[in-house]
Amino acid sequence: MSGLKALIADDDSSILWVLERFLEEKKIGVVKAENGPEASALLSTPGIALAILDINMPGKDGLEVLREAKEAGSRSEFIIMTAESTMKNTLEAMKFGAFDYITKPFDLGELEIMVDRAIETMGLKARLVNLTERLKERLAHETVFIGKSKAVQNVFKTVGKVAGKDVTVLVLGESGTGKELLARLIHSNGPRSVGPFVAVNSAAVPRDLMESELFGFEKGAFTGAVEEKKGKFELADGGTLFLDEVGDMPIDLQARLLRVLQEKEFYKVGGKAPVKVDVRIIAATNQDIDKAVAEKRFREDLLFRLNGVTVTLPALRERKNDVELLADYFLEKFSDEFGGGKKTLSPKAMDALESYPWPGNVRELGNVLRRAVLLSPGLAISPEDLNLPQARHRKESIEEIITARLRPFIDKTDHKGKQELYDFIMPFMERPLIKLVLEKTKGNQVQAAEVLGINRNTLRKKIKDLNIKLGKLRE
Ligand SMILES: Nc1ncnc2c1ncn2[C@@H]1O[C@H](COP(=O)(O)OP(=O)(O)OP(=O)(O)O)[C@@H](O)[C@H]1O
Ligand SMILES: [Mg+2]
């Protein structure tokens, strides 16, 4: 028990004397207080893990000391002592978070059991805190990049080659292909993984704040600079700076960035002395960077500096065989997150995922599956649960589309009695059909009748009966 300390507080010195002997015998260090304020002050002594407090003390009573300490976030365990055991005191002590409560006079055997239990609890708590923190840390740092396609395997090979070195990596790819994730993967597999990973997004930071965002500023550098601020370069010292959407960086800042990368030092805004930093740079963009260079929106010399190695993440539609693996990963992840059992995809739903073009890439796939896991009524996710745009219209027959749309409505209607459902629904089928065809023929009824394959007079009658406003057709 070495290193463990207890605070004992009582205005009765004979009690303090007894407690001190008792604790010393248990190899617990002792700090003594004779009144409330003193007890409060001494509680912050390093190593205090246990406090045994009398209730009735001059200056501040023990319950108050306890309440304040707990409010301030104290992790010590408290045992409260009092001469008179009233229910109010006991309740308050426990309510304020005391470990236990003991009435004087007590015998030391009773106190010993209590102290032992408190110490045991502290050990457990500490272990628990430790474990949760370690777990959190691991999860936060564990970067999983899913993919078995040839393209992704090649990316892994490159990462394997460059992660351990300090070379600058430029990651290219459409939005949502995993550029930031890849940057984290490179960082966490390199020698700087213990250092920070700091991201700065050129597209998200307003143009005139970008400079101080990157380099920080000195106190008084401009109105409003009331305190000095560290920039992302300084924050990333010893780690990795991820220049996200670097293609959107203002051209005037590009020159400055280039100089910093070459010289490995910079001046804060309003700063006189250079700041030296040791950072690894990973940059990413979803822009066509060669085009940006050709159009003079991006400096060629900066591009040369950034693309020590270039990794291109292909769009998801170009690596369809990653879809299933990614889908499994997301299903597992979101099922875990939301509870309620592991959800799976029906074979048709998997087909739908594989034939969808994924303009938003892996991010979109993740979002679609998060929603489906959350909203699908059963454990098996159907194609309807995925609620994919467009693809459904391309692949499904008209009948399937209409059935899917009609089903929720029919499900909700009463199944008994007279409903006149047929007469109610049919105009909703006919009207859009006729309207859409009329829109295509720009209101020409002769043509529309031909396309529809109905008589011109029939069409005229339908337009009237269905109350289709010819003047309101969309162009
Ligand atoms: N291969 C992958 N395995 C697992 N998760 C992935 C993968 N690729 C992307 N993701 C996830 O998809 C989401 C989008 O990825 P990320 O933010 O890295 O994309 P990005 O290319 O930086 O997109 P943007 O250009 O829009 O910033 C993130 O939640 C990321 O964790
Ligand atoms: Mg990104």
pLDDT single digits (tens) 32-50: 999 999 999 999 888 888 9
Name which residue sits closest to atom 13 of ligand 1, judged by CA: 363
Name which residue sits closest to atom 12 of ligand 1, judged by CA: 363
Q: What percent of the chain has pLDDT above 70?
A: 93
CATH of span 318-412: 1.10.8.60
Mean pLDDT to the nearest integer, 375-395? 78
Domain 5-137 sits in which CATH superfamily? Response regulator (3.40.50.2300)
Mean pLDDT to the nearest integer, 186-192? 86
CATH 3.40.50.1000 fits 166-313, yes or no: no
Does the Cβ of 148 fall within 6 Å of ligand 1? no
Per-residue pLDDT of 399-447, as tens digits, reads 777 887 888 888 877 777 777 888 888 888 999 999 999 999 999 999 9
Does the Cβ of 177 fall within 6 Å of ligand 1? yes
Q: Is the pLDDT of residue 1 over 50?
A: no
> What single-letter DSSP state applies at residue 258?
H
Fold of the domain spanning 421-472: Arc Repressor Mutant, subunit A (1.10.10)
The Cα 54–Cα 11 span in angstroms is 8
Name which residue sits closest to atom 27 of ligand 1, judged by CA: 175
Domains 5-137 and 166-313 share a fold: yes
Does the Cβ of 184 fall within 6 Å of ligand 1? no
pTM > 0.85: no
Name which residue sits closest to atom 18 of ligand 1, judged by CA: 178
| 254 closest CA partner among 262, 291, 167, 199 | 262
Name which residue sits closest to atom 23 of ligand 1, judged by CA: 176
Does the Cβ of 247 fall within 6 Å of ligand 1? no
Q: 456 by DSSP, 3-state: which?
A: helix
* Ligand lying nearest the CA atom of residue 311: 1
Q: What is the DSSP string of 59-108?
A: SS-HHHHHHHHHHTT---EEEEEESS--HHHHHHHHHTT-SEEEESS--H
Please give the number of the atom of ligand 1 that sits closest to the Cα of 201: 27
Taking ligand 2, which is a single-atom ion, which protein residues have CB atoms under 5 Å away? 180
Name which residue sits closest to atom 29 of ligand 1, judged by CA: 363
- For a ligand 1 pocket test, name from 170, 175, 180 the mutation site with the most ligand atoms within 8 angstroms of its C-beta: 180
Q: What is the DSSP string of 396-435?
A: S-HHHHHHHHHHHHHHHS-SSS---HHHHHHHHHHHHHHH
The Cα 233–Cα 246 span in angstroms is 15
The residue extents of the domains of the chain are 5-137, 166-313, 318-412, 421-472
Does the Cβ of 231 fall within 6 Å of ligand 1? no
- For a ligand 1 pocket test, name from 181, 205, 246, 318 the mutation site with the most ligand atoms within 8 angstroms of its C-beta: 181
Mean pLDDT to the nearest integer, 176-193? 91
How do the residues of the chain divide into helix, strand and coil, expressed in percent and rounded to 5?
50, 15, 35
Q: Is the pLDDT of residue 97 over 60?
A: yes
